[in-house]
Structure 1
Amino acid sequence: MAEPRRSALQRVRSASLLLGPAFVAAIAYVDPGNVASNISAGAQFGYLLVWVIVMANVMAGLVQFLSAKLGLVTGMSLPEAVRAKSSRGVRLSYWAQAETVAMATDLAEVVGGAIALNLLFGLPLLVGGVITGAVSLVLLAAQNRWGQRPFERIITGMLAIIAIGFLASVVISPPSVAGTVGGLVPRFDGTESVLLAAAMIGATVMPHAVYLHSGLARDRHGNPEAGPVRARLLRITKVDVGLAMVIAGTVNMAMLLMAANTLRGREGIDSIEAAHGAVHDVLGPGAALLLAIGLLASGLASTSVGAYAGAMIMQGLLKRHIPLIVRRVVTLVPALAILALGIDPTRALIVSQVVLSFGIPFALIPLVRFTADRALMGADVNHRVTTGLAWLVAAIISVLNVALIYLTVTGG
């Protein structure tokens, strides 16, 4: 009886060693843009937008699995597949929007790290931004030197720190069960709630994570032939994505519920710094410290993953390799300019997430098309139901963005 049990444990251990790519991609779902969007949503509207967190996380799980599947089955990252299927002019235009999204991503992550260093050590925001960028460069250099597996372990460790940092406040002061359940009913309350919903989706279903995951899965697992090995890897990838999305979704929900429970109705909660101060006053210095540490880990990890994604996008679309330090400096410029000019960092974070939400269709549409193409995917082509759901995700996001533009222009 003991031998089958050992065999089962060995199979579980063997499968667990193949987990990891989705946890790297999941860092994009708990970056400082999420913190700003979710805390703002909870502080302003209470439990109203709980449903957005749930919807965005479900959509993200489907999208990330399709991205990983594309890499495993075709041996191409999503940017490489776009390049293979498009003309030079289209590739250049596509790269331009993808780079804009990458810079918006960097803005959120560097500004978030700077805010955390300010809260923890009183450092000026500009100095904190430079330190955040420098640490991300060190993490990327470690990935270049030691490979993907150690990088995955480092990022997964930071994901654990982020989870502890943001879940602590919810454990200390549990939110209203009735309010949380009531927030699952989809609805809005004016233009600002639509803006925040778009920001929350932009911070969850992030374009650079969609591009990146296809390359991560390919680089980790290779391009196995159709058969039992590929089928097993696809099953393990579903587990990888599922676990990563559960963790990311739980952290995002904790951010919103903490703000709805602790910050709702309090005056002057219009920034992460103010939210941190309110948590300190209401829940104590321990909860505030953990929140700041979680924010710092979020900024450091996510800016590293974002730069990694940017390099993969450029390499895939243009077949151009730019030295890491040059690329890091270029993408840091907008974020450091925001900090140097004294622009409200929390508002900049939210606006950056709206920019990201407009980049989502450019990642989703080709992803769905490619994974629904039998000539490209063979026996692993999407089921019709999967393709239908994926198109629905793209449509929901596009409609939300159109509504956002309309309500913003007309004033609601």
Structure 2
Amino acid sequence: MGEGTPWQQVKNKLRVIGPGAIIAASFIGPGTISTATEAGASFGYSLVWAIVFAVITTMILQEMASRLGVVTGGGLGEAIREQFQKPFLKYSIMSLIGFSIALGCAAYMAGDLTGGALGISLLTGIPQNYIAPVIGGIILTIGLLGTYKKLEKIFITLVVIMSITFITTMIVVQPDVTEVFAGAFVPSIPAGSIVVIVALIGTTVVPYNLFLHASSAGERWKDPANLKQARLDIILTIGVGGLITAAVIITAGTVIRGYDVTGAEELALALEPTLGEWAAVFISIGLLAAGFSSAMAAPMGAAYTIGGLTGWARGFSDKKFKIIFSVIISIGIVTSAVGFEPLELILFAQALNGLILPIIAVFLLVVLNNKNKLGEYVNSLKLNIIGGLIVLITSGLGIYSLIEAVMGFIEG
């Protein structure tokens, strides 16, 4: 077939996929799968709208971060460091963001490793705290020996695996399409659902992904003329990421609606009448891919953030970058080996991210209005208004997450 055929045109469009796939792979972790399973089991399809909202919010913020990287060739950390001139203000902001992101990434890392290990544990019976450090060791090796381009391909592969696993499962269980569309486009807040709504949004809109996306987009594209490609990448990959999360909600809402669940592994049992012996295999592969992808993205996010804020390191060719990457993974390996519950670790990270997200979103808006840095590619008035609304909403969610975390700690 010639280059002008419809199939060739589709292939050309798919070639833009890259940094966005890293972001999608990052936010589809075991915590997202578990939260989506709980949402579907407890509330059916009625919370699918929360994922639609979260995906749109993520696309808007990630487009800003991506545009910064493509236009300037630098990351968000570098931009924040250069934005503020007064030493006290600069170093206070750098310390706050760097500490919060590093701590959040380490907590996500441990939870993602243990959650990913659950995928293998379901099939083999081997305890998660034995498997998780092995997965961490594999990721550490990949990071130390790999390059950005190689890791990008791994992330794309993992997103494809999760798409096949979870979307196929959703189709097989034959959900009520009318109800699904109502849940997606008619927002409702059933009694007792607010905690789950906050968790669904919190697992999708992740602050370190803004640093990760700006830097990875800057590595992938070197010219503002590539902005259309970067935006198409965001729409395709983050859209698919949202569809994967929605697929889990819809599947759970179809097969275990009305049941109390504690994790995604219960979804495998409920799917046995439909998928037979393949039920456990499908869910296990999906959980392993989700844990592996998120656990690989978390230390990348920390390395890009800290490296950019301090000016120490940029990219996988830099030894200091790999040191930060290795430290975060090592913390996750040790923590997961101890045998902490993954949900506790991930909930802690979600609460921390909920607090830091609106702060980083404000700094992102400040940087994206710097004409000296971005010239004609600064935010439009419309984008600033939308960004401001996102800051207000995420601030409310962050405060709520903090209150829930404190109350949970007191009650625990």
Q: TM-score, normalised by structure 1?
A: 0.87
1:41 corresponding residue in structure 2: 39
Residue aligning to 1:197: 197
From 250, 254, 261, the counterpart of 2:243: 250
> Residue 66 of structure 1 aligns with which residue?
64
Q: 1:360-399 alignment to 2 at 5 Å?
A: 360-399=357-396
| Partner Cα distance (1:207, 1:400) in 2 | 13
Question: Can you list the C-alpha shifts for 1:164-212, whole angstroms capped at 9, x where unaligned?
Answer: 111122111121223323323323234x522221211111111121110
| Structure 2, unaligned runs of 5 or more | 85-89, 314-319
What percentage of residue pairs aligned between the two structures are identical? 25
Would you say the 8 A contact 1:101–1:359 is kept in 2? no
Distance 1:138 1:334 in 2: 14
Alpha carbons of structure 1 residues 291 and 45: separation in structure 2 relative to 1, 3 Å: same
Note if contact 1:262-1:282 (Cα within 8 Å) is conserved in structure 2: no
Query: 1:112 aligned to 112, 115, 121, which one?
Result: 115
Per-residue displacement from partner, 1:316-364 (whole Å, max 9, x unpaired)? 11234547367435444357436624x4433543443333322322331
Residue 317 of structure 2 is matched in structure 1 by none
User: Per-residue CA shift, 1:34-83, capped at 9, x if unaligned?
Assistant: 11111111112222211101000111111111111001112220011111
Matches within 5 A, 1:130-149: 130-143=133-146, 147-149=147-149
Q: CA, structure 1 residues 320+120, in 2 after alignment: closer, same or farther (shift >3 Å)?
A: farther
- Judged with a 3 Å threshold, the aligned counterparts in structure 2 of structure 1 residues 177 and 311 are, in CA distance, closer, same or farther, namely same
Cα distance change on mapping 1:351 and 1:264 into 2, 3 Å = farther
- Alignment partners' CA distance in 2, 1:336 and 1:315: 23
Amino acid aligned to 1:390 = G
Distance 2:400 2:299 in 1: 31
Q: Which residue of 294, 297, 305 corresponds with 1:302?
A: 294
Distance 1:276 1:182 in 2: 26
Give, in angstroms, the shift of residue 252 of structure 1.
0.8
Matched ranges for 1:67-82 at <5 A:
67-82=65-80
Counterpart CA distance in 1 for 2:46 and 2:341 is: 25
2:188 partner amino acid:
R
Query: What is the deviation of 1:315?
Result: 0.8
- C-alpha deviation, 1:277, in angstroms: 2.5
Q: 1 CA distance for matches of 2:37 and 2:29?
A: 13
Q: What are the equivalent positions in structure 2 for 1:252-291 lying under 5 Å apart? A: 252-266=245-259, 269-280=261-272, 283-291=275-283
Match for 1:71: what amino acid? Answer: G
Tell me whether 71-80 or 106-115 shows the greater mean CA deviation.
106-115
In the alignment, structure 1 residue 176 sits paired with structure 2 residue 176: yes
Q: Is the 8 A contact 2:23 2:238 kept in 1?
A: no
Aligned amino acid, residue 302 of structure 1: S
Say whether the 8 Å CA contact 2:69–2:217 is kept in structure 1.
Answer: yes
Q: CA deviation at 1:150?
A: 2.6
CA spacing shift, 1:130–1:313, aligned 2, 3 Å: same
Q: Cα distance, 1:10 vs. partner?
A: 7.9
Shift in Å at residue 105 of structure 1? 2.3
Aligned to 1:210: 210
2:335 to 330, 334, 337: 337
Q: Return the alpha-carbon distance in structure 1 between the equivalents of residues 20 and 390 of structure 2.
A: 19
Specify the alignment match of 1:357 in structure 2.
354
Q: Distance in 1 between matches of 2:271 and 2:39?
A: 16
C-alpha distance in structure 2 between counterparts of 1:356 and 1:135, whole Å: 26
Question: CA, structure 1 residues 323+21, in 2 after alignment: closer, same or farther (shift >3 Å)?
Answer: closer
- Contact 2:48-2:180 at 8 Å conserved across structures: yes
Contact kept, 8 Å, 1:126 with 1:336, in 2: the verdict is: no
Question: SS at the partner of 1:183?
Answer: helix
- 8 A contact 2:105–2:349 mirrored in 1: no
Q: Find the counterpart in structure 1 of residue 326 from structure 2.
A: 328
Note the C-alpha offset of 1:285.
2.1
Deviating more after overlay: 280-289 vs 250-259: 280-289
Q: 1:118 to 1:336 in 2, by over 3 A?
A: farther
Distance 2:268 2:44 in 1: 17
1:100: which partner in 2?
Answer: 103
Give the aligned residue type for 1:240: D
What secondary structure is seen at the aligned counterpart in 1 of 2:193? helix
Separation in 2 of the partners of 1:9 and 1:189? 44
Structure 1 portions without partners, runs of 5+: 225-229
Distance apart, 1:16 and its partner CA? 4.8
Equivalent position amino acid for 1:324 in 2: K
Other structure's SS at 1:135 match: helix
**What amino acid is aligned across from residue 45 of structure 1 in structure 2?**
F
CA distance in 1, matches of 2:142, 2:333: 19
Structure 1 position 314 matched with structure 2 position 306: yes
